[in-house]
Structure 1
Amino acid sequence: MIALLARDLRLAVRAGGGFGLGLAFFLIVTVLVPFGVGPEAAILRAIAPGILWVSALLACLLSLDRIFALDHEDGSLDLLATAPLPMEGVAFVKAAAHWLTTGLPLVMAAPALGVLLHLPQAGYGWLLVSLALGTPALSVIGTFGAALTVGIKRGGLLLSLLVLPLYVPTLIFGAEVARRGAEGLPVQTPLLMLAGISLGAVALLPFASAAVLRINLR
């Protein structure tokens, strides 16, 4: 599993499919928002948690089609299917590699971009917590969507249509944690819901992804 994870990390960095692309998209959307809604600090402060979360979600979405597509094209996925490592482990490693190259950089960059949107000082910590808890769910759900569309030519649009509805609960509770934290309100309920979604996705979806991959590779 460690060798596969290291391989995927090297491929992601060399190909630029996840690390640079997602971070650049996150930055561009955050920078453009003040031009669209105006420079008023009060407006930006109110919408900052939601904008940062939507930007992070879309940035994660950009690189999902690369999770299995490259391995399918060069035949590596067929070899992984016959390797001693079970397909559930392969799906988990793929999701972990996606989070490390896409989700983790977004978590680390979010506080700096929050300054551009006048995010209240009390919200920075909760923004980090919400993204750190929520982005693993985005990667695992995205891996499941990528497994469903593996082998489909130009399946990026279909992948987006399949995954976006599944992302909605994570977006709702993640943005709510950041918003309540910024306003000094209790965050326990949305925080627990967000943690539950992430833990449930990590526990269950690798098995669903593995089952779908076995069907697609027959």
Structure 2
Amino acid sequence: MKVQVFTGNPIQQNGSVVYNDQGDAVIIDPSCYERFEQQEWVDFIAENQLKVHAVLNTHCHIDHVTGNAFCVNTFDVPLMAHKEELFTLSFAERSAQMYGLVAYVPSPEPTVFIEDKQVLRFGDLELEVIFGPGHAVGHVAFYHAASKTLIGGDILFKGSFGRVDLPGGSMDVLKKTIHERIFTLPDDTVVYPGHGPTTTIGEEKRTNYILQF
């Protein structure tokens, strides 16, 4: 499995195209907001002859859904998220106004709801859903066991972790998620977070200041 990260929109969120050698692909947390960012995504997918099967959201804070409408409409695919994220998505337009995202096109609601431990299959590409609330009520991560790769959204960052002061956030719940759902993955699992550089489970188990709480 391969991951192409696109850091975009004014909040600098890491969206990604996840794909395999057969050309099966999904878009996760599309960060494309400006027109030039949208074109970068379209060009990459066309140049690599990828078949996009779906758009997935780890969660629905505004910075993770700026490209939802564009990608769903451009590639004519379903939007998939955890049902609890309808709560988070309900704040998106208000958040767009707060952050000055005047060009934000409202995200459609998910048409497919995903659940903890569900294995999603897109052609020959498989991703396991890991339910991980705390930063958002319906936050999930996507794990590819064969390559030990985690698309983690805003659960865990390199040296840090997701904020818990937004509606639906909880430090106690996030700590439980990190310790019981994320830190139990193999140490050499590569983590692609929603913001900042990649890291590994092992590195964060040794150094992340979540351990101080």
Q: Name the TM-score class by shorter chain.
A: under 0.3
TM-score, normalization by structure 2: 0.23
Structure of greater Rg: 1
- Bigger helix fraction: 1
Q: Name the TM-score, length of structure 1 as normaliser.
A: 0.23
User: Greater RCO between the two (CA within 8 Å, min separation 6)?
Assistant: 1
